[in-house]
Amino acid sequence: MDITEPTPGAPCWVELATSDPEAAKGYYREVFGWRAETDPRPEAGGYTTMSLGAAPVAGLAPLYAPGQPTAWTVSFATGDADALAAAVTEAGGQQLMRPMDVFDLGRFAVVADPAGAVLSLWQARAFAGAALFNAPGSLGWVELATRDADGAQAFYQRVFGWSVTTHAQYTQWGIGTAVFGGMSLLDERYPDEVPAHWLPYFMVEDVDATSARATESGGTLLVPPTDVPEGPRVAMIRDAQGGVFGIHGTPGD
């Protein structure tokens, strides 16, 4: 990811909604060394900030709605959450949670693209988002998995103005020349019940060692450590409650 700080149109935060917040706090401490700090205010609903040292890198929250799955959500920065949410609707997407204020921290909305992939929009006020990117234990890449690549490209270019490039036959998203993510196709290898989704990838120093630690701590390895042609070494993991995330190696590993 070429983005090194919260930037309009780019990923600025990732958040796990989970059925067992206490177990998740322990799990991600073991896997990434994250420190958990839960907001004590009742109106915060148990929201927890996960940090590396003093740097916030991710959020964690209990499930708020019946039937809500344990899942990671990627948030994208914007200067106007209301206008961007409206643009999502106009382009064929949905507003799952209309824009609302979060204390003095910012304003956010939860939306879905036309294929159903869920993402959040974040308009920063007191809180800009993650304070660390592209370092071991922090967000290093995001990937859209979809069955409609052409529709996704048209939607995200219209709504966010992203640039689209290709590297080793892999579609990449960017803000101008600053690349931050990519797109993979949910083809016949994936069961029909796998929905379109955004997947966060966290950078690690050692993909194999982190994968082993993730499974020993109660997770499941969905994709074992694999070298991507002309890319990094990657793996995909599901935590004990069902939250799926990816990891990738540091440059030159």
pLDDT in tens, the chain (253 residues): 999 999 999 999 999 999 999 999 999 999 999 999 999 999 999 999 999 999 999 999 999 888 889 999 999 999 999 999 999 999 999 999 999 999 999 999 999 999 999 999 999 999 999 999 999 999 999 999 999 999 999 999 999 999 999 998 899 999 999 999 999 999 888 888 889 999 999 999 999 999 999 999 999 999 999 999 888 999 999 999 999 999 999 865 5
Residue with tokens 């003095």: 104
d(CA 175, CA 71): 26
d(CA 1, CA 37): 27
Residue with tokens 């974040």: 122
The segment(s) of the chain belonging to CATH 3.10.180.10 are 11-124, 139-249
d(CA 202, CA 224): 15
The candidate with the shortest Cα–Cα distance to 172, out of 148, 156, 189, is 156
0.85 cut: is pTM over it?
A: yes
d(CA 135, CA 98): 33
Fold of 139-249: 2,3-Dihydroxybiphenyl 1,2-Dioxygenase; domain 1 (3.10.180)
Query: 11-124 maps to which CATH number?
Result: 3.10.180.10
d(CA 241, CA 144): 21
